[in-house]
Amino acid sequence: MNVLIDRFDVFAGGFWLTFQICVLAAIGALVLGAVVAVLRISPVPPLRALGTAYVTVFRNMPLTVVMFFAAFGLPVLGSNADFLRIPVLDQVFTRLGTDLPYFRFALIALVLYTAAFVCEALRSGVNAVSPGQAEAARAIGMTFTQNLRFVVLPQSWKACIVPLGSVIIAMIKNSALIGFFGVVGDLSQSADQLTSAEGFAFVPVAIGISIGYLIMTVPLGALLDRIERRQAVAAR
């Protein structure tokens, strides 16, 4: 078990990278997922179809395949995801700014994939609001946007916060797949480096990595439980 102490820097480095990509991907997926959710509930049929198509594709495709498309498809299309080198942000998350674009590719794949699930979690929250609420809002002359903003969304977040949290926890674990990109160096890839390159025993390394993921997911899960309990009280 000495590996946990001796090579703490490798674990810490991997943890830090996984943490960064998860924060960025969570923000991206929440924003994109919200956009797709609005498309899916919009009154305009072509927009609805677009939203549904998005969810159908990305919810039903393995994340690995989405990642392959990001890593091999984007360069073919002539993009190395430079648009993600956002000024200031790439100072904080230095990997966004590096020349090797794999961090950005991995980020795109994770965002695209997770957004489909975020969309469905948000939509379940919207569906939990009784249809009479939206109907009453329409009856006093609210437009679709006003209806969402003043009536439906303020009531829907309560119902979607818990499923949304589950989606984010799943995303943190899914981020282990970015090891496919080889050079990224996330938490789960630490295993590869320590076992095959440096010859450490696998089990202690795996324990170290598990701890790294649990540090991110367990507090999030506990927070969700608390929110859920508070809601149960508030719901009379």
Partner 1 sequence: MTDEALIDLVGVNKWFGPLHVLQDVDLSVARGEVVVVIGPSGSGKSTLCRSINRLEPIDSGSIIFDGQPLPAEGKALAKLRSEVGMVFQSFNLFAHKTILQNVMLGPVKVRKEKTAVVRERALSLLERVGIASQAEKYPAQLSGGQQQRVAIARALAMQPKALLFDEPTSALDPEMVGEVLDVMTSLAKEGMTMVVVTHEMGFARHAANRVVFMADGQLVEQAPPAEFFANPQSDRAKDFLSKILTH
Q: Provide the token pair at 141.
A: 């002359």
136 near partner 1 (CB under 8 A): yes
The answer to the question of residue 107 lying near partner 1 (CB under 8 A) is no
Phi, psi (deg, nearest 5) at residue 80: -115, 30
The residue within the footprint of partner 1, chosen from 6, 12, 27, 43 (CB under 8 A), is 43
> Is residue 80 near partner 1 by the rule CB under 8 A?
no
For residue 87, state whether it binds partner 1 (rule: CB under 8 A). no
Q: Which is nearer to partner 1, 155 or 166 (CB)?
A: 155
Residue 236 binds to partner 1 (criterion: CB under 8 A): yes
User: Is residue 51 classed exposed, middle or buried when 0-12, 13-18 and 19+ CB atoms within 10 A define those classes?
Assistant: buried
110: left (phi over 0), alpha (psi -120 to 50) or beta: alpha
**Helix, strand, coil fractions of the chain, as percent rounded to 5:** 85, 0, 15
Which of the ranges 13-21, 82-90, 94-102, 138-146 carries the binding residues for partner 1, by CB under 8 A?
138-146
Q: Does 146 bind partner 1 (CB under 8 A)?
A: yes
List helix spans (H) across 45-130.
45-60, 63-68, 74-76, 89-92, 94-97, 102-128
Applying CB under 8 A, which of residues 52, 133, 166, 195 lies at the interface with partner 1? 133
Size of the residue set binding partner 1 (CB under 8 A): 19
Stretch that binds partner 1, among 1-9, 72-80, 143-151, 184-192 (CB under 8 A): 143-151
Residue 83 in tokens: 């648009």
User: 54, 67, 77: which is closest to 105 by C-alpha?
Assistant: 67
Contact status: 233 vs partner 1 (CB under 8 A): no
**Which among 198, 220, 195 is positioned nearest to 208, based on CA atoms?**
195
Q: Which of 2, 9, 20, 8 is nearest to 216 (CA)?
A: 20
**Is the alpha carbon torsion for 158, 159, 160, 163 positive or negative?**
positive
In the bound state with partner 1, the residue whose beta carbon lies nearer, of 135 and 192, is 135
231 binds partner 1 (CB under 8 A): no
Q: Token pair of 49, please?
A: 């179809």
CA distances from 115 to 8, 32, 33, 165, 174 (A): 33, 6, 4, 13, 13
Residue 42 engages partner 1 in binding (rule: CB under 8 A)? no
Judged by CB under 8 A, the residue of 108, 126, 151, 177 near partner 1 is: 151
Q: Which stretch binds partner 1 (CB under 8 A): 150-158, 169-177, 188-196, 205-213?
A: 150-158
Residue 45 near partner 1 by CB under 8 A: no
Q: Which of 135, 198, 225, 228 binds partner 1 (CB under 8 A)?
A: 135
Residues at the contact surface with partner 1, assessed by CB under 8 A: 43, 130, 132-133, 135-143, 146, 150-151, 154-155, 236
